[in-house]
Amino acid sequence: MLKTGFNTAQPKKSAVFVVFAGKKNALGKNATSLDKKTNGAIAKALKASQSFEGKAKQTLVLNGVTGVNADQIVVIGTGETKGMVLTDIEALGGTLAHVLKTAKLSNATVLIDTFDGQDTAETAAHIAYGAVLRNYSYDIYKAKKKADPLVKKIDFVLASASKAKKLFAPLQKIAAGVFFTRDLVSEPANDLYPETFAARVKKELTPLGVKVQILTDKQMEKMGMGSLMAVGKGSARPPRLAIMKYEGVPKSASAAAKKPIAFVGKGITFDTGGISLKPGPGMEDMKWDMGGAGVVSGLMKALAGRKARVNVIAVIALAENMPSSCATRPGDVVTSLSGQTIEILNTDAEGRLVLADALWHVQEKFKPKMIVDLATLTGAMIIALGHEYAGVFSNDEELPKQLVEAGAETLEKTWHMPMCKAWDKAMDSPIADMKNISGGRDAGSATAAAFLERFIKKGTPWAHIDIAGVAWSKKTTATVPKGGTGFGVRLLDHMVSKHYEVK
């Protein structure tokens, strides 16, 4: 991860100095001071530039400037700073990491100026956060690695350096959670499968004080998790259920405050579709069908890392969906942990099957005050919302509001989708309590959510987030390189911080 430093004194020498220019190339106090040392070289370069106008995310690299002990000076445009929100500031950090990386500059010193209405320490912390989030790559499988193109260290200079350092500390822990999710989602299925996924989670989270219990296939079968087990039957790699328990609420708190919240993640480490085999082209993408479990794991790392004052239970249902002589067939009927029977009409609608038993188990054993599940569940979600929003389905009024609000504030956007009795009715089976697909093409994401709701006990607030369109990206944004996005970690951490932590 990118190293950061926060200091009050400007160094006499730096490989690169970074300053900011606002609307119409207006320089701030620190930028003006540096400009004077260069005998006005920065202002002259800005005036001479045909493309740089101080707009947000514009950059200009000056080489060979005299008067300062630096090889380069980088100017980053802020645009209009009045009314800026934290995600705007983080985007500046992403731009900073990108321009340094593009120019092959591994170290830099950033002179922080005051933006209109912004706390300078908060500005510095969130620029650093944005830079860290953008400065990510996944190349562990490359035998011939090129010289590491990532930025190694950025120092920030401002009067309130100690405050900025304190504000950045929890953000750095959240970034570590995002990176854990990105790593998991990016890893190929020959190395990341149910057993290794569970082991990775235990190794990563135990040192942070998270208790991790791993249920084997034999244990789950004995417990009656017939729905989850049906998905993993066709694979030589047996399924697992990893249960993570984090207790951050002080022991002196009330019983109500100690009641946990719960997160459940779909962890299909590879999805061929089973006997209902998917088409070959694009099947390689199904290594990230464990995206929901990846988000839940990264969230737990973020919460435990920053020592969030909340009690959390997280469950990830891990299985590999493969065709074989042992695989579940279309038309088979299985009994879930809840006792409800399911007619499996399509083995490629497997995510809801593993979630069904995981959702029931977390309610039976831990009785949480609310549950959020995450899953790359349906292609229909991509048809509905594209790659810009995740869909939220819920049996509650307040919970989806919290998720939509947190999504807007972190730019991990969600959209509250409707649920109705007709979609629930569509899941009825003539020979079992329900079927795992409706049998029609309409409302595919909604009928999937209706299926899941049948495993939620009355009175338990629950939300299902379908992240099929946002778990992986083929394009780069301000703070997210293309590939595994880590979408959901920042969103849920923010929601927990705002609504569920003991203050």
Q: Distance (Å, rounded) from C-alpha 228 to C-alpha 356?
A: 8
Spatial contact of 171 and 128, defined as CB atoms under 8 Å apart: yes
182: tokens are 């990105």
Active site residue 458: no
Which of these is catalytic: 278, 329, 369, 401? 278
Spatial contact of 106 and 147, defined as CB atoms under 8 Å apart: no
Which of these is catalytic: 233, 301, 352, 435? 352
Cβ contacts of residue 218 below 8 Å, gap of 6+? none
Q: Distance (Å, rounded) from C-alpha 360 to C-alpha 416?
A: 23
DSSP state of 80: -
- Residue of 464, 445, 301 whose CA lies nearest to 371: 464
DSSP state of 23: G
Active site residue 278: yes
Q: Is 399 helix (H, G, I), strand (E, B) or coil?
A: helix
Q: Is 351 helix (H, G, I), strand (E, B) or coil?
A: helix
369: tokens are 């005050």
7: tokens are 């200091």
Q: Distance (Å, rounded) from C-alpha 190 to C-alpha 208?
A: 28
DSSP string of 249-303?
S-TTS-HHHHSPEEEEEEEEEEE--TTSPPPSTTGGGGGGTTHHHHHHHHHHHHH
Known catalytic residues are 278, 352
